[in-house]
A and B are shown apart, each in its own frame.
Chain A
Amino acid sequence: MLTSLTSSIDPRPLGLARIIIGIAAVIRSYVAWRVLSRLAEPEVLKIPYAEWLPEPSLGLAISVVGVWAVAAVLFTIGWRVALSGPILLGAIVITLSLDEQAYSNHLYLMAWLVLLLTLASAGSGINIARQDRLIVRWPVFLIMLQASLVYGFSAFTKFNESFLSGSVLASTLGRGVIPFPERLITPQVLSLVAAGVVFVELFVAIFLWRRRLRPIAFLLGLALHLSITLLMTDTLELLVFSLEMMAIYPLFLSRSKLIVIFDGECASCRRWVSRLKQIDVLHVLDPVLSGAPSSPLEATYPEPALQLVHHGASKGFRAMTLALEHLVPTLWVAPILRLPGVRNLGEWWYRSQARRARCPAGIPTNLERGSVSAV
């Protein structure tokens, strides 16, 4: 266990998380400006944590937010994260400390994430220097644990009459970008939605860690974050929170390479592999030409047109789905392709594509019988 935690891993998923959380920090600097500049107005209430702390002023607001925004941009592009990370963290901590009204759960979360990303040496992957360095696993494990703790405590504290009756949702739903249908704002519907929210938060907290149910956790997490961002008040702040949480999801994906065995004579397969490689920011795909000497797996998995080998072999549309679940930016939405109906439609489309392309190895005889496992 300890050896695993101190082992070296690919830095690119963490680099991606740093970029998304950095973008969230850039957006959040605008909200910080709104709050701090309001606090600088003389008629606005001040609630300091301690008497000795400086009172918010316009000068202080400009300085803090200015430093914040610059540090957030540098952090995002991966420029000296060991320096830009602590500066960004400092600006966030100063903002949080200036007044009780400056507190937000997502800002507190951002402080933790920037700290952990800096600790994890998140600038080692996908950075402006275009040179990646291996990183140690345990800080990444802490970031993953952070996501589960946030979802877990959030769900746990919702086990109360006020939330489960729907009264909390009644005061927040429908005030976002998209209005919630008035006729659905009934105690029964709101209670059902409230129970659903608690279930989703608990499910995601637990099953992000389980490979079999992770795609469902991704789907439910995406649905949760889309709905809170679009339906609830404080859209910008909920967008920041959603970006923070969704940035952590790719860290849960398997570290092993996805071996794609494809038939080089099949134009359709070549095109698909080329497209997949174009969006393979995390470098998870390892395309291997069928029949190539470097294809030791061929004996294990014969008749490839486009196969994908990852915890056992997947073929055809299932292989495409699995590949898309590991690629940016499709990894957050690709689990939708597993849904019944969507999957059937995808398999039909894939078979028709393969037929049209006349892939010799891509249309094995069992395709004609409507096999779902063929390309």
Chain B
Amino acid sequence: MTIRFGRMKDWRESPLAALLLIAVFVVIQLGIPISRLSEEGPRRFGWQMFSVARGAPTFVAHTTSGDIEIELVDFVARARGDIDLEEVLPTHLCNVLSDANSVSWENGQLEC
């Protein structure tokens, strides 16, 4: 295997292009994670890996045939710490469980 030592002629050699792209990279890579620091809980795009524990709540669907404790794996593709399931899952459970009258969890309840 050989290396060609021919003079390269491409835009990457331009000092202006280098400076511009380094600046853009630094602004994005520092700006987004820093802006995420002020928000509570784990947040996406901030390199917050395993930094905060966020347990998933227990949901119970109250149906005409009785109460069903919801197994998250049946209704959620991935239960991530940066997703507020209390905000999005109850409405979804009401939509997919046709005989559900309400959905409750530790901190609230939703009438279907």
Interface residues of A (CB under 8 A from B): 2-3, 5-6, 8, 10-11, 35, 38-39, 42-47, 99-103, 105, 108, 119, 121, 126, 130-136, 138-139, 141-142, 145-146, 149-150, 153-154, 156-158, 160, 162-163, 167-169, 171-172, 232, 283
Contacts and interface: CB of A to CB of B under 8 A. Distances in A.
B19 interface: yes
A5 B15 CA distance: 8
Contacts, number: 139
Given A101-B80, A167-B53, A157 B46 contact: yes
Interface in B2-60: 2-6, 8, 12-15, 18-19, 21-22, 25-26, 29-30, 33, 37, 44-53, 55
Given A6-B14, A132-B1, A168 B50 contact: yes
Interface string B84-98: 000011001000100
B92 to A, nearest CB: 5
Given A6-B13, A150-B47, A154-B47, A168 B25 contact: no
B47 A45 contact: no
B67 interface: no
Contacts of A35: 77-78
A187 to B, nearest CB: 14
B4 A101 contact: no
Given A103-B44, A160-B52, A168-B50, A10 B3 contact: yes
Interface residues of B, number: 44
Given A132-B4, A133-B8, A45 B51 contact: no
A199 B6 CA distance: 45
A130 to B, nearest CB: 5
Contact of B77 (A38, A158, A169): A38
A142 B22 contact: yes
A158 B14 CA distance: 39
B31 to A, nearest CB: 11
Nearest to B1: A130
A46 B91 CA distance: 11
Nearest to B93: A45
Given A133-B3, A154-B48, A103 B12 contact: no
A341 B99 CA distance: 68
B74 interface: yes
